[in-house]
Amino acid sequence: MQRRKFLEVTSLSTAGIATSTMIACQDPKSGSEVAVQKEINPIVIATWDVPNATSKAWSVLQNGGNSLDAVEQGVMIEEADVNNQSVGKGGRPDRDGQVSCDACIMDKAGNCGSVVYLQNVVHAISVARKVMEDTPHVMLAGNGAELFAYEKGFPKEDLLIDKSKKEWEAWLETKEYKPVINIENHDTIGMLAIDKNGDLSGACTTSGMAYKLKGRVGDSPIIGAGLFVDNEIGGATATGVGEEVVKTVGSFLIVELMRQGMSPQQACEEGVRRIVAKNPELDFQVGFIAINKQGLTGGYCIQPGFTYRVYSPEGHINHPSGSHIS
């Protein structure tokens, strides 16, 4: 079946933002291409229970904004929220007491931008978007990313808040690197959205694993690992121990599994199974969420306790994700 879109009709649904689109499908009897009207319902999904972020993204879509703006502005809410200690301002530091952030963003055309080991800038996702839109590159790291951010007008800001500093000081007493499942890696935000044109974008942003080695980069800014979007098929994003996600190129894998016909839920489960198969001791968390072009969603993780937020015309729901260990 071909999914070439060739005409958009703006018929508003009861939810206020659904549109219908004429898509080209193959007629099963004649084999010839026919035009079929299909309703597109915008949708936003995000890792963990982040209602403020998904509400923001939804309001962007509701005001006619595109999915790229929606995911960027959505995850910015968590970056600025000091109560979220896994992202942006308020993020937990590395073992030397320094906060460093990783983020990436991907649009409907497959363009992407990423920053790794970015310090002193709250909105890593917006810097990643600038890398995508204003440079010939995909990824900027460390000091280069930071200088680029200042060039683009981002303010310098200390991301370490008192609460995270005190917790780090307490951690220094043992210096044991042992991420606590669903706690120390909680709330990295990966977000996927479909807009009224049926176009998909995704964003992922984090301050990484608490008390990591200086210079450590996880999956969240790695295109294909922490995030992947293919506008023809769907998108996926990850949370949890990034090393395990990188080893299986998790988000790309999930999108490819959907391309082969799996539902988002089946693909997330298979993504988790690949990690589980290689790790007899499952003492860590990894969670995936995915969405396909039709707006179906899925989520799956290793340990219980992972949820994902969905904002669609059906409402604003926090879904418990299925888990490998129950």
Pick 173 or 281: Cβ nearer ligand SD4: 281
Q: Does 208 participate in binding ligand SD4 (rule CB under 6 A)?
A: yes
Range in contact with ligand SD4 (rule: CB under 6 A) among 26-34, 204-212, 251-259, 273-281: 204-212
- Could you say which of 188, 237, 239, 307 is catalytic? 188
Q: Does 240 participate in binding ligand SD4 (rule CB under 6 A)?
A: yes
Q: Is 188 a catalytic residue?
A: yes
Minimum distance, C-beta of residue 205 to ligand SD4, in the bound complex (Å): 10
Range in contact with ligand SD4 (rule: CB under 6 A) among 34-42, 108-116, 213-221, 290-298: 213-221
Which amino acid would we find at residue 35? A
Question: DSSP assignment of 59-92, as one string?
Answer: HHHHTT--HHHHHHHHHHHHHH-TT-TTSSTT--
Contact 229, 255 (CB under 8 A): yes
Q: Does 239 participate in binding ligand SD4 (rule CB under 6 A)?
A: yes
Q: Does 188 participate in binding ligand SD4 (rule CB under 6 A)?
A: yes
- Among 88, 121, 112, 108, smallest CA distance to 205 is for 88
Contact 295, 274 (CB under 8 A): no
Question: In this structure, what is the dihedral angle of CA atoms 304, 207, 242, 228, given to the nearest 10 degrees?
Answer: 100
Q: Does 206 participate in binding ligand SD4 (rule CB under 6 A)?
A: yes
Question: DSSP assignment of 100-138, as one string?
Answer: -EEEEEE-TTS-EEEEEEE-S-S-HHHHHHHHHHHSS-S
Cα distances (Å, whole numbers) of residue 146 to 112, 118, 213, 304:
18, 6, 19, 37
Q: Does 86 participate in binding ligand SD4 (rule CB under 6 A)?
A: yes
Provide the token pair at 305.
Answer: 């306790």
Provide the token pair at 5.
Answer: 């879109």
Minimum distance, C-beta of residue 184 to ligand SD4, in the bound complex (Å): 8
Pick 65 or 93: Cβ nearer ligand SD4: 93
Q: Does 218 participate in binding ligand SD4 (rule CB under 6 A)?
A: yes
Minimum distance, C-beta of residue 216 to ligand SD4, in the bound complex (Å): 8
Pick 234 or 250: Cβ nearer ligand SD4: 250
Rule CB under 6 A: choose which of 79, 94, 195, 219 binds ligand SD4. Answer: 219
Q: Which residues are catalytic?
A: 188
- Contact residues for ligand SD4 (CB under 6 A)? 86, 185-188, 206, 208-209, 218-220, 239-242
